[in-house]
Homo-oligomer: A and B are copies of this chain.
């Protein structure tokens, strides 16, 4: 197995800096003290071509960081790229093909107008859905309606996810949106896709996060407090959303979570970072992961169980919802938040005595999911 031994951040938000500057900003603190050890670089990124007119970003980054000879790959799995890249990093060190992987997740989205960004991201949909014209947010709207109807969930419970995540995000200096919101503010913000409101959908963000991933036995030579990846699973589901039996359950998330759980021997983590591109997704994922029974996740939110200080804090970082969603960076940021929490570096949003955490990185609408269970014990 592998361990995370360092994390670096470039604040999420609308940034003037170039994508390469942002990527390097997050990598610098990680690289500085370990330049000679790093023997592989993975860049989690989806749209550097479409958004920034750049290809070969992985090679450009190693050049930028003066690690010319270090081999590198760009890992893409759309919004689930970060999880897929962590999975690849773990596999690389487990196979012995790398001994110290720099994993940088980065995206710079704000160079393009919102409409174009939405169109580009929706290019991951199958032909059938594309022909019908919907974007990913429209599926999130549909899912919200379906979930509320199927499980008699209140509108407030869905919006409460945004209240919680913005409260958490306001405690995260690297979050895009640092603003505490009331339930009323969320419910009265502009309708994006009925019934979803502005503050319930992740903003378009720039940003980067870097991690250092090494084999477990090597971890102590890097840090006193490694965070071990104790279990990690990936699974997929049809890209054709309309071909699925239901949208209110996510088999890819369920299966990925089962693998992470089985490998780690940990049933329930002390905290979890989930892929809340839209508020309703956090609830559906909690259920698919078995944290709460199907159709009851919304109650856990209303009861405050998923807040910092609750029985299972979810998205202490602010989640994609408030922290922002620079696509290639998001999954890496999730693992980085777990790293911060387990090593006691989460500042004002620190979960007390957190020893295990799960990060779930998702592509599309559960088209793919990677679940990583992390812990302080080896």
Residues of A within 8 A of B (CB): 46-47, 49-50, 53-56, 58-60, 62-63, 68-78, 84, 87-88, 90-92, 94-97, 120-121, 123-124, 126, 234-240, 251-252, 255-256, 363-364, 367-368, 370
Contacts and interface: CB of A to CB of B under 8 A. Distances in A.
Which of A53, A56, A239, A251 is the most central at the interface, judged by chain B CB atoms within 10 Å of its CB? Answer: A56
A258 B84 CA distance: 29
Contact of A78 (B56, B236, B367): B56
A76 B74 contact: yes
Given A55-B78, A94-B97, 5 more contacts: A49-B50, A56-B364, A59-B124, A60-B126, A68-B238
Closest 9 CB pairs between A and B? A56-B124, A71-B234, A94-B95, A74-B76, A63-B239, A95-B95, A91-B95, A56-B78, A68-B238
Contact of A238 (B53, B63, B235): B63
Contacts of A235: 69, 71
A370 B120 CA distance: 31
Nearest to A67: B236
A368 B49 contact: no
Contacts of A238: 63, 68
A292 to B, nearest CB: 23
20 contacts: A47-B55, A54-B123, A55-B78, A55-B121, A55-B123, A58-B76, A59-B77, A59-B368, A60-B124, A62-B239, A63-B126, A69-B236, A69-B237, A71-B234, A71-B368, A73-B76, A74-B77, A90-B95, A90-B97, A92-B95
Contacts of A237: 68-69
Given A73-B77, A75-B75, A91-B92, A124 B55 contact: yes
A42 to B, nearest CB: 10
A77 B74 CA distance: 6
A59 B94 contact: no
A78 B45 CA distance: 13
